[in-house]
Amino acid sequence: MPTPSDRPTTSELRRDPILRRWVIIAPEHASELAPRRIAADAAAPGQCPFCPGQEAMNPIEVARVGDGAGWAVRVTPDRHPLLRIEGELGRRAVGMFDYMNAVGAHELVIDTPDHACGWADFTPAHMACLLGVYRDRSRDLRRDPRFRHILVLMNRGAAWSRFSHAHSHVVATPFAMKRVEDEMAGAREYYRRKERCAFCDQLAEERHAGTRVVAEQPGFVALAPFASEHAYEVWVLPSAHAADFGRSEDDALAPLGTLLVDVVGRLRRVLDDVPYSVVLHTGPLDQPDSVDFHWHWEIVPLLGHELGIEWATGIYSNPVPPEAAADALRRAGTGPAR
């Protein structure tokens, strides 16, 4: 019979022996099981821990842009981290099973000092500044040899988001994330067959056809992917091959920022202030020159039409053809939101 000592009391990583992916077993997060949905905060500006004047609530700064009270972006450690920064990987086996310590970095980025602004409200210059923070955190975190991969994630208006003030996450993991690893494996197979990047080929085909292109900026394209799993899913990619977002030059951040603000603004106009998630998929830290992977941002509105079987089966059913989504988003144009 089990005794309590059979059970971890701090987080650990366990490798699924069938699916070959690492899962975080996180007993410290048990309080998240109740309530079942974390309510969005109703804090007035000034009581929000991310607003200017409340810096003492998140005192440790990993990075910031701007001085004193006039900051534009702040980065702090997350108060409820998925992975802990301290310690060794501690790879080990128990019987047939594989363990690692739940080591990694989990940083919280306060995207703006303005409590009421989302990405769609940002000036292109502010978005470029935020992208520069992500790039610089990626450059800094990769100096830690324990980390294999870096993720940037932003949720806007989602039911599970604890705070409404715009914020995002930079997570460095000691393993490749399954979804990105699946993309890398698919792109690698494509390259072996064709000796061309699968993303570059798609970009060429999409720009020729035009039907799934949403918008462009110099050096960047936004498109609704051919086999979009989610309605109104949009990807933003560099037009020229690049595996590592962390190598982006300063002068690329302005057009990329302009395009991201443009795309989330179009989604807001077409889908009536829908919640959405934005995720950066970038190549593994040890392969910045990969010929087969192509970094990109994935932007997915959270429309709640999922069948509830995606997690269990991998079957996705998307009721909005990407051509129709791209057409609606193109026609939503730019200009003042809503």
Stretch that binds a second copy, among 5-13, 50-58, 122-130, 283-291 (CB under 8 A): 5-13
Residue number, 72 or 274, with CB nearest to a second copy:
274
- Per rule CB under 8 A, is residue 303 in the interface with a second copy? yes
Q: Which of 14, 84, 139, 247 binds a second copy (CB under 8 A)?
A: 14
Map the footprint of a second copy across residues 110-139, applying CB under 8 A.
none
- Per rule CB under 8 A, is residue 327 in the interface with a second copy? yes
Map the footprint of a second copy across residues 213-272, applying CB under 8 A.
225-229, 231
Q: Which of 68, 70, 319, 335 binds a second copy (CB under 8 A)?
A: 319
Q: Which of 108, 131, 263, 300 binds a second copy (CB under 8 A)?
A: 300
DSSP assignment letter at 174: S
How far apart (Å, rounded) are the C-alpha atoms in residues 124 and 332?
18
Identify the helix (H) or strand (E) that includes residue 158. Answer: none
Map the footprint of a second copy across residues 168-197, applying CB under 8 A.
171, 173, 177-183, 186-187, 189-190
Shortest Cβ distance from residue 67 to a second copy (Å)?
33
DSSP assignment letter at 69: G
Q: Which of 59, 68, 70, 95 binds a second copy (CB under 8 A)?
A: 95
How far apart (Å, rounded) are the C-alpha atoms in residues 274 and 336?
17
Q: Which CB contacts under 8 angstroms, 24+ apart, belong to 67-76?
A: 71/113, 72/112, 72/113, 72/126, 72/129, 73/109, 73/110, 73/111, 73/112, 73/129, 73/130, 73/133, 74/109, 74/110, 75/107, 75/108, 75/109, 75/110, 75/133, 75/137, 75/170, 76/107, 76/108, 76/110
216 forms bridges with which residues in the sheet?
221
280 forms bridges with which residues in the sheet?
152, 297
Stretch that binds a second copy, among 123-131, 134-142, 153-161, 248-256 (CB under 8 A): 153-161
CA 301 to chain centre: 13
Shortest Cβ distance from residue 113 to a second copy (Å)?
24
Shortest Cβ distance from residue 317 to a second copy (Å)?
4
Map the footprint of a second copy across residues 28-47, applying CB under 8 A.
28-33, 36-37
Residue number, 140 or 327, with CB nearest to a second copy:
327
- Per rule CB under 8 A, is residue 23 in the interface with a second copy? yes
Other Cβ atoms less than 10 A from the Cβ of 2: the count is: 6
- Per rule CB under 8 A, is residue 211 in the interface with a second copy? yes
Q: Which of 62, 158, 270, 337 binds a second copy (CB under 8 A)?
A: 158
Residue number, 55 or 183, with CB nearest to a second copy:
183
Number of residues that bind a second copy (CB under 8 A): 93
Report the SS3 class of residue 221: strand
Map the footprint of a second copy across residues 267-296, applying CB under 8 A.
277, 279
Whether the CB-CB separation of 54 and 71 falls below 8 Å is answered with no
How far apart (Å, rounded) are the C-alpha atoms in residues 266 and 315?
28
